[in-house]
Amino acid sequence: MGLIDGIRSALGIQAERSATRAADPEDLFGMSTAYLTMSADLDCPPVGQAALSFADVDSTEFADARRAVERVLDAGASETGTVATFHEDRHGYEWVVLEDDDFEDLVTSIHFAADTLIEEGFGSRLLAALFAFEAPDEGYAYWVYSFKRGAYYPFAPEPGARERDAAVEFKLQSVLDGELDVESDESYWYPLWPENAGHPWE
């Protein structure tokens, strides 16, 4: 099992065993105000991208559910202008990557995608939702919503290295805790390392 496989397994299996409460897609709407705090108080503006990660299932029913997500996002695009792309990473995990300069439209679209998978009976396959921001110095900082824990946590990878900027992460936690339901157990702040200098979903 590779590093990313282990992390995503932890996001799913281990986190589910230790779940403090059921995940609620409505939690995603907390980012609709949190992004303003990120920009104004932390100098971390959104980059106009977010992503939803889920584990695939080799079944006709899941293929139908995935198409339902595509239809929902296609229908919403006419209203929001949010561009959605689907792809499978090299570890076999599925991503819905969303792009929109209007951050609130990003939040709405990622909620639609997650909620549709749940309605289709595949909520257990949801792993995480990621919202990307510019880091204070360089690179990116993310708020990750774990569907298995029902909570957010910050993730700030240092550019070009598999190291975390702990100072940035704890600053994000201290400022946004209360505005977001932040995971209190730091052992569940799983890193989702990008393959290169880009985003984890690339």
Structure confidence by residue, pLDDT tens digits, 64-74: 988 999 999 99
Work out the average pLDDT over 149-165: 92
Q: Where are the alpha helices (DSSP H) in the chain?
A: 3-9, 15-17, 31-42, 60-80, 103-119, 166-176
Q: Answer yes or no: is 201 within a domain.
A: no
The pLDDT tens digits for 80-132 are 889 999 988 877 888 999 999 999 999 999 999 999 999 999 888 899 999 99
Compute the distance between CA of residue 174 and CA of residue 133 in angstroms, rounded to an integer. Answer: 17
Q: Answer yes or no: is 196 within a domain.
A: no
What CATH number is given to the structural domain containing 127? 3.30.70
Compute the distance between CA of residue 160 and CA of residue 52 in angstroms, rounded to an integer. Answer: 23
Return the percentage of the chain with pLDDT > 90, whole number.
62
Model-level pTM?
0.87
Q: Answer yes or no: is 195 within a domain.
A: no
**What share of residues in the chain are helix, strand, coil (percent, to 5)?**
45, 25, 30
Q: How confident is the model at residue 18 (pLDDT cuts 50, 70, 90)?
A: very low
Phi then psi dihedrals of residue 197, to 5 deg: -80, 0
Question: Which long-range contacts does 86-89 make (Cβ < 8 Å, 24+ apart)?
Answer: 87/201, 88/56, 89/4, 89/201
Q: Answer yes or no: is 87 within a domain.
A: yes
User: Is pLDDT larger for residue 39 or for residue 12?
Assistant: 39
Work out the average pLDDT over 156-178: 93
Q: Answer yes or no: is 198 within a domain.
A: no
Domain count, the chain: 1
Q: Answer yes or no: is 58 within a domain.
A: yes
State the helix-helix crossing angle for 31-42 and 103-119, rounded to 10 degrees: 150
Eight-state DSSP code of residue 201: T
Q: Which domain holds residue 181?
A: 3-188
Cβ atoms of 165 and 171 within 8 Å: the answer is no
The reported pLDDT for the residue numbered 22 is 60
Q: Answer yes or no: is 199 within a domain.
A: no
Is the pLDDT assigned to residue 15 strictly greater than 50? no
Q: Answer yes or no: is 200 within a domain.
A: no
